[in-house]
Amino acid sequence: MENEIMKEDRAKEILDKIKENIDMSNLEEMIKNNFISWKYNDSEYRVRLLNRIDKDELYILLVKKLNSLLVDIEIKKESELKQIYKEKRNIDFDEIDKQIRKLQNERLSVQLKLGQAISEKVEESGLAEYRRQIEEISESIIKINIQKENLLAHSLEKILEAYELEAKTWLALDKKTDGEWKRMFNTFEEFRSFEDDVLITKAAHYNLLIQIK
């Protein structure tokens, strides 16, 4: 039970960190010309969409990483890990997915009620309760998904996915120097050894957002 509580607390901590690092209300204003820029410690940074040269570099990195993972017999695919969890820990990912779908249906039901209430010009106090329920359900879905991701974090697919996101952030992160934008790190090794987690975390979050814009 204690481990489950710790996992839930960790999930909430990650969720709060994401909210803290991204001001969603200003996001549309920040995304201009396919990049997001911000100031940090008196310097200006940006993340941008990858160009063709960047994508070629990324492809080579991913091929090399995949090849190294495939020869390591200790690294399991997601399907193999799920079977191990089910047999050894009684954790059924099909049941977890059912729980997520149930919550998603509950959220949709409340969203429909909110839409109906808005059309009927219900007072703001009534609308606020529907919005509170939607936010609460959404946070529950996020927490369960984070816990699910944590369980599978060491699968081959997730390792490669995390590596890809990290590499994309390295390739997309620029710093303004003498009035010109330049890639902040020349090599992936420089990026991975950089110790300012606040800057890298913000760059990673903004990079995720701009990729799905």
CB-based burial, 80-98: b 16+ in 10 Å, e otherwise:
ebbeebeeeeeeebeebee
Kindly give, in sequence order, each residue whose CB lies less than 8 Å from that of residue 91, ignoring residues fewer than 6 positions away. Answer: 85, 151
Mean pLDDT of 140-166: 93
Residue 160 half-sphere exposure, CB side, CA atoms within 13 Å? 20
Distances (CA, A) of 101 to 133, 136, 212: 16, 15, 23
Residue 124 has φ and ψ, to the nearest 5°, of -60, -35
Dihedral (CA of 14, 18, 19, 20) sign: positive
Q: What is the pLDDT of residue 53?
A: 94
Count the Cβ atoms, other than its own, within 10 Å of residue 32: 9
DSSP 3-state of 22: coil
- Give pLDDT, residue 177: 93
What is the pLDDT averaged over residues 11-36?
57
pLDDT at 20: 52
pLDDT of residue 14 exceeding 60, the answer is: no
Q: What is the pLDDT of residue 108?
A: 95
Q: Averaged over 95-115, what is the pLDDT?
A: 95
Model pLDDT for residues 154-210, shown as the tens digit of each residue: 999 999 999 999 999 999 999 999 999 999 999 999 999 999 999 999 999 888 888
Nearest to 143 by CA among 4, 21, 20, 25: 4
pTM of the complete model beyond 0.75:
no
Intra-chain end-to-end CA distance of the chain, in Å: 40
**Nearest C-alpha neighbor of 173 from the set 61, 46, 58:** 46
d(CA 175, CA 44): 6
DSSP letter (8 states) at residue 46 = E
Is the pLDDT at 139 greater than 80? The verdict is yes
Please check the confidence at residue 27 and state whether its pLDDT lies above 80: no
Cβ atoms within 10 Å, residue 24: 9
Domain boundaries, the chain: 2-178+198-211
